[in-house]
């Protein structure tokens, strides 16, 4: 029986050449396995027919191990990416915040320097329009073009003018414009506009009823009771004429002394109004 098996096996072996190597290939492994089973009596002879795969793990175990390792690696990579993305997001938010603050500061400085500012009213010279303690917003754009109108409430720099010895600026109303002639007489204000041949009384609805406009002796001596204004000169007075120190005593204000035009009362909030 053994001899017959070996003969059958030898009949079923042939030589196959791949390059310079020769390999014995079993064409009928099933017959060989059957013969071995017959000799040993085992159902599973465990005959070596691994075809060179004996160094690898069983196929059914490989996917499970690979999947676990892959999941661990992917989890670690995901966690690292998540931390990195979070750090980048925080850094971006901080930079955006810093940028926003910086832009706000720059815009604020530019606005206060060139466009608008807040001024506080001190004293009663502008009653009843403005009271002591009021805060106003003042626009500066008009000062770049010398664009002032009659009735504008303006911030004036009186430093160096005879009759003014305070550090603070003044706040007064524009009464007469460049080229006009103003006359103060009999408690009233008269204007002769450019090109006009006669004076006309100025209507001033912003004054308290019964208020009259009088000259001081110092102003009369300087000739400020009747003045023809030169180029870029403005005659300005406070609304509370009896207490206001203005062009009646200080003389006309040149355009470069006007630092802004008050446009709105912002404090107290209950007195909010445009001027």
Q: What is the pLDDT of residue 69?
A: 57
* 172 falls within a domain: yes
**Which domain does 224 fall in, by range?**
116-274
Q: What is the rounded CA–CA span in Å between residue 230 and residue 255?
A: 11
CATH number, residue 186: 2.10.109.10
pTM assigned to the model:
0.65
Please report whether residue 206 resides in a domain: yes
My answer on whether 144 and 261 are in the same domain is yes
Could you give the number of structural domains in the chain?
A: 2
CB 176 within 8 Å of CB 199: no
245's tokens:
């120190």
pLDDT at position 199 = 97
Closest-CA residue to 181 (of 225, 232, 238, 211): 225
Local confidence band at 46 (pLDDT 50, 70, 90 cut-offs): very low
Same domain, 223 and 122: yes
Of 133, 147, 134, 138, the closest CA to residue 113 belongs to: 138
- Co-location of 121 and 33 in the same domain: no
Q: Which residues pair with 183 in a beta bridge?
A: 190, 226
172 is an active site residue: yes
Question: Is the residue at 69 inside a domain?
Answer: no
Widest distance between CA atoms in the chain: 156
Beta bridge pairs of residue 254? 233
Asked, for residue 18, whether it belongs to a domain, the answer is yes
pLDDT reported for residue 52 = 44
Q: Are residues 29 and 124 in the same domain?
A: no
Q: What is the pLDDT of residue 213?
A: 97
- pLDDT, tens digit, 9 for 90 and up, residues 157-166: 999 999 999 9
Tell me if residue 20 is catalytic: no
Q: What is the pLDDT of residues 113-153, one digit of tens each?
A: 889 999 999 999 999 999 999 999 999 999 999 999 999 99
On whether residue 47 sits in a domain, the answer given is no
Q: Report the distance separating Cα 98 and Cα 9, nearest Å.
A: 86
Are 147 and 34 members of one domain? no
**Strand, helix or coil at 184?**
strand
Check 2, 3, 99, 125 and give the catalytic one: 125
Q: Are residues 142 and 233 in the same domain?
A: yes
**Residue 56 covered by a domain:** no
pLDDT value at residue 26: 43
Catalytic-role residue among 172, 192, 244, 247: 172
Q: What is the mean pLDDT of the chain?
A: 80
């Amino acid at each position: 029986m053994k001899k017959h098996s070996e003969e059958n096996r030898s009949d079923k072996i042939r030589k196959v050449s791949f390059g310079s190597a020769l390999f014995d290939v079993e064409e009928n492994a099933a017959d060989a396995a059957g013969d071995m089973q017959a000799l040993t009596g085992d159902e599973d002879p465990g005959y070596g027919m691994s075809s060179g795969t004996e160094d690898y793990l069983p196929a059914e175990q490989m996917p499970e191990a690979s999947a676990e390792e892959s999941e661990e690696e992917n989890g670690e990579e995901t966690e690292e990416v998540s931390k990195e993305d979070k750090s980048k997001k925080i850094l971006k938010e901080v930079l955006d915040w810093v940028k926003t603050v910086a832009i706000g500061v720059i815009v604020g400085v530019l606005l206060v320097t060139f466009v608008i500012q807040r001024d506080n009213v001190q004293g009663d010279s502008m009653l009843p329009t403005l009271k002591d303690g009021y805060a106003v917003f003042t626009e500066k754009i008009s000062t770049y073009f010398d664009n002032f109108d009659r009735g504008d409430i303006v911030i004036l720099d009186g430093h160096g003018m005879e009759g003014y010895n305070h550090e603070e600026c003044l706040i007064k109303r524009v009464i007469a414009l460049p080229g006009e002639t103003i006359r103060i007489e009999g408690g009233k204000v008269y204007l002769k506009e450019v090109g006009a041949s006669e004076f006309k009384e100025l209507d001033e609805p912003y004054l308290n009823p019964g208020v009259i406009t009088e000259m001081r002796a110092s102003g009369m001596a300087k000739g400020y009771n009747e003045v023809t204004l030169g180029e870029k000169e403005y005659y300005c007075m406070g609304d509370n004429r009896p207490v206001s120190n203005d062009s009646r005593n200080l003389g006309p204000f040149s355009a470069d002394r006007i630092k802004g035009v008050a446009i709105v009362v912002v404090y107290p909030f209950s007195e909010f109004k445009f001027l």
